[in-house]
Structure 1
């Protein structure tokens, strides 16, 4: 039996005890709160076992009402291998089917998400997906930036070169989401809005003659995660992205983070060259037809 999840704070506490990777457990309360307050146009499904040993978050968007997402599923270690995870997954599938879904994906439902898919190190989750009839349909990855290895002199030199073109780097303001929306759509605009409103988050823009050249944000979904970032087509080649990236990572370092996750990272070569980021977290995305 599965019931509706009512206590989001309790779910955060359960996640802190259930998520095996320390970087996820450290942000458990943030994850629960983010998934419990999704963007407009999304129907959220929040489930729990009656004994409080497991939780699941799922959702479906009105932009693609036939595709449901199981965004997060966790069971306390002591309660595993007794069917709680399978029961939560079945209940989530049933709720999503009732909302019109014909397919379910085990993975993030951007722009509000915990992670792209199942981190390959969460072996029990991979096993559950396979037993439940899901098939591997995509792979995603994060890159990790070591914030303790930042080069302030290189960052200052890059920023000076950008300023020589007449551009300035400024904190984003309330008008920035509309500009982001005009080029990259609603998803990234929502993330920028969150970065302006949430503690531990931020966003910078490069501006020249009143025109925004690019933006970079961090903390929209998780304080230790960077992104999204984009450069206007007319400003490509100026080094805007590298400067904005380093500004954001410096903020995250100042907030106490030693590493930052570049979520759903690409292009890999850019991040590797700009901040020596490395491929680290690999996610398998599973899909099932209902």
Structure 2
């Protein structure tokens, strides 16, 4: 099978789907989608097992890839018909993952923001109209370990927890002479943003996450906007509705390859992927 590189055509996607929907699905899920994934699993026509992975793995793509590959390798092919990944490409953290005996299925998405917004089209529209946007959601904030303060960057969609290092942590890692400089550089992060957008997913029961996001926007002089979320991609992924061009099906023996085009990801041989990533 030819690798799906930059020349992959989205119209070819259906040809790579399994002949029939599997009865049992293993879901490997970033913990920021805990609530949505369990909800969709409960209503899925498939038998769905969900396993959560720490969102902090997003900060270190190689660790994310290693952890996911370990879990993929452990999935029982006699028990599961497919493995669904509730992830975007995530800083190429999923690039190079190999489907062993069980095929992989994942959304064609750059990161979790696409999954929250419901489609690549909406993701593209938002980023083209407002590229300097800092994204929030209740699900993401409640899984953050750091409090939102004016002096430190807030945890937001796609943001690295490395930005939240305290002065003491920086001294321990870089030495006292360099710690202050690093803090000053980190303090410039706000210059790249003009808007804070809170994605309404329905899980901010008491409104606390929304208030925290609005407060941060005010402190940093950003426009604040609330946008509606759309769980379509997560729902379809866990229901086994993978037709069309929204999902990538990776057959056994193939690997996930970034395509650097509208498809976002494709499937290719492990050798081709490793050569491209080298």
TM-score band, normalised by shorter chain: under 0.3
TM-score by length of 1: 0.21
TM-score by length of 2: 0.22
Q: Which structure is higher in strand share?
A: 1
